[in-house]
A and B are shown apart, each in its own frame.
Chain A
Amino acid sequence: MPWKAVTRSVIGTSHIQQQLPCQDYGGKQILGDVLIGAIADGAGSAAHAEVGAKLAVTIVLEYLALTEVWLQKRRQSWRSLPHPPAQELATKLFTKIVNKVNLGLRKQAETSGYSIDDLACTLLVLLATPRWVAAMQIGDGFIVVRSKRRQDYQLFFQPDKGEYANQTTFVTSSNALADMQIRILSNPPKFICASTDALERVAIRLSDWSAFPPFFKPLEEYLLETTHPDKDDDYLISFLESDRLNSRTDDDKTLLLGFYE
């Protein structure tokens, strides 16, 4: 398989202390030559954040998979588009996804007798083919990509922060669509890493919002060496659970990694 990918979440030490569940969720699918993935970080202040994060990711993956199946039925694929999608098409696609997610969350809230704010979460989505990557982000967290012909790691979006360190936008916020960031990278990707905000402070240099290569390189090498990242996840889990990392962040941590051979 040309794409190798894995997603793992590990609960934060502060969540263990406060007896909260892990409120992060991540998922991915590989459809032929296309990698789709999503991660969500449930708002700490939301009563059922873990439900919201998981549902949001599930809805995104189902919908994105459907678009690929729909294209394949017409003997096409996201990968076979003659050009990377234009900003307009990407905006249309991701807007639809956000609306689907909100609809799903609202239904879930009604069924369970919650308020939709009880399910608030951030959302990062990516759609990657061998020739381009399209991604969107609502709230904080980050997506970093290394293109095939480049050595450096590119931070896709500056994390969406308000003035203060504890402010961000959620997919359920009234300004979610207005704050949604979308970007299309027209270069062939080699390595992709998406994460919730817990790893921001160790992976991204905040003074100039640049990706820190010594953070990403070992993760890329890990994917390069492993043949089945989903089974062979000891390395990733032990990193996410390491005391070394926990001394720098007490929040839930999620990594989505992708590597194109």
Chain B
Amino acid sequence: MPVGLPEFVENPENRCPVILLLDTSTSMTGQPIQELSRGVGVFKEDVQRDTKASLSVEVAIVTFGPVQLLQDFVTVDQLVPPQLEANGYTPMGEAIEYAIDLLQDRKEVYKTNGIQYYRPWIFMITDGAPTDSWHNAAQEIRLGEADRKFCFFAVGVEGADMTTLSKIAPPDRPPAKLNGLDFQSLFVWLSTSMKRVSSGKVGEAIALPPVGWAEISS
């Protein structure tokens, strides 16, 4: 039949935003900060193995100690894994509030440009206890989770104040404790999860892969 095939409209990929909220306070000095830096690289490499995910997943990196936007949102292929440096206190409360605002701004950019997106993730990794007031941040996390504005994940490295972390993290998603310094497994898990989210079908509940990198707490 002499009929041409349909042509396709060029639409941008659906975006899948994630903020890495990384504790870079002085206590992370040495091997922890090196392993954490390496982990971000592993995350990038692993996401990039999936063509669709590499076009969808957008990463921003916020470090705290002090709070700093190290990397504004970029697609994974544009991400240059930073060499993290350990320095200063642990202003966790300020960092969380900063991340929530950053997400809100990103959503506005998507909306203005007619880009569809998945529920964003804020993924916090810390080895300490907040040195600033965190109650307001914890409240914002609860409200944001209830309104399905984002998913908040907290990961404690050896030495982290898990008691405080569990007060900050949403009740349905308690903080996980990292096995030693196994940041690699953690970031591979994060990458696998983002790949699943970025290929998620409409209305589909995303089943996350099992958490192999965390200690089992009783």
Q: Is the CB of B8 within 8 A of A207?
A: no
Q: How many residues of A contact B (CB 8 A)?
A: 46
Q: Is the CB of B203 within 8 A of A166?
A: yes
Q: Is the CB of B6 within 8 A of A167?
A: no
B117 to chain A, nearest CB (A): 6
Q: Is A45 an interface residue (CB 8 A)?
A: yes
Q: Is the CB of A167 within 8 A of B202?
A: yes
Q: Is B14 an interface residue (CB 8 A)?
A: yes
Which residues of B sit under 8 angstroms from A226, Cβ to Cβ?
1
Q: Is B114 an interface residue (CB 8 A)?
A: yes
Q: Is the CB of B7 within 8 A of A201?
A: no
Given contacts A201-B11, A215-B9, contact A166 B118 (CB under 8 A): yes
Q: Is the CB of B8 within 8 A of A215?
A: yes
The residues in B between 194 and 217 inclusive whose CB is less than 8 angstroms from any CB of A are 197, 199-206
Given contacts A161-B116, A165-B116, A206-B115, contact A214 B201 (CB under 8 A): no
Which residues of B sit under 8 angstroms from A120, Cβ to Cβ?
203
Q: Which of A67-75, A127-135, A184-192, A217-225 contacts the other chain? A: A217-225
Interface string of A67-91 (1 = CB under 8 A from B): 0000000000000000000000000
Q: Which B residue sits closest to A204, measured CB to CB?
A: B9
Q: Is the CB of A214 within 8 A of B7?
A: yes
Q: Which A residue sits closest to B6, measured CB to CB?
A: A215
Which residues of B sit under 8 angstroms from A219, Cβ to Cβ?
6
The A contact surface, by secondary structure, is loop
Which residues of A sit under 8 angstroms from B3, Cβ to Cβ?
218, 221-222, 225, 235
Q: Which B residue sits closest to A249, measured CB to CB?
A: B8
Q: Which B residue sits closest to A169, measured CB to CB?
A: B203
Which residues of B sit under 8 angstroms from A206, Cβ to Cβ?
11-12, 114-116
Which residues of B sit under 8 angstroms from A40, Cβ to Cβ?
none
CA distance A167 to B203 in the complex (A): 4
The residues in B between 107 and 154 inclusive whose CB is less than 8 angstroms from any CB of A are 113-119, 148
Which residues of B sit under 8 angstroms from A45, Cβ to Cβ?
203-205
Residue in contact with B118 in the complex, picked from A164, A205, A221, CB distance below 8 Å: A164
Q: Is the CB of B11 within 8 A of A205?
A: yes
Q: Is the CB of B203 within 8 A of A218?
A: no
Q: Is the CB of A225 within 8 A of B114?
A: no
Q: Which A residue sits closest to B200, measured CB to CB?
A: A166
Q: Which of A164, A204, A205 has the most CB of B within 10 A?
A: A164
Interface string of A211-240 (1 = CB under 8 A from B): 010111111011001100000101100010
Which residues of A sit under 8 angstroms from B11, Cβ to Cβ?
201-202, 205-207
With A166-B118, A168-B202 given, name 12 new contacts (CB 8 A).
A14-B199, A43-B203, A43-B204, A165-B117, A165-B200, A166-B206, A204-B9, A215-B9, A221-B4, A235-B3, A239-B5, A239-B6
5 contacts between A and B (CB under 8 A): A44-B204, A167-B202, A201-B11, A207-B114, A222-B3
Residues of A within 8 A of B (CB): 14, 41, 43-45, 120, 122, 139-140, 161, 163-168, 170, 197, 201-208, 212, 214-219, 221-222, 225-226, 232, 234-235, 239, 242, 244, 248, 250-251
Task: Give the top 5 A-B pairs by smallest Cβ distance, nearest first.
Answer: A207-B114, A214-B7, A44-B204, A44-B201, A212-B9
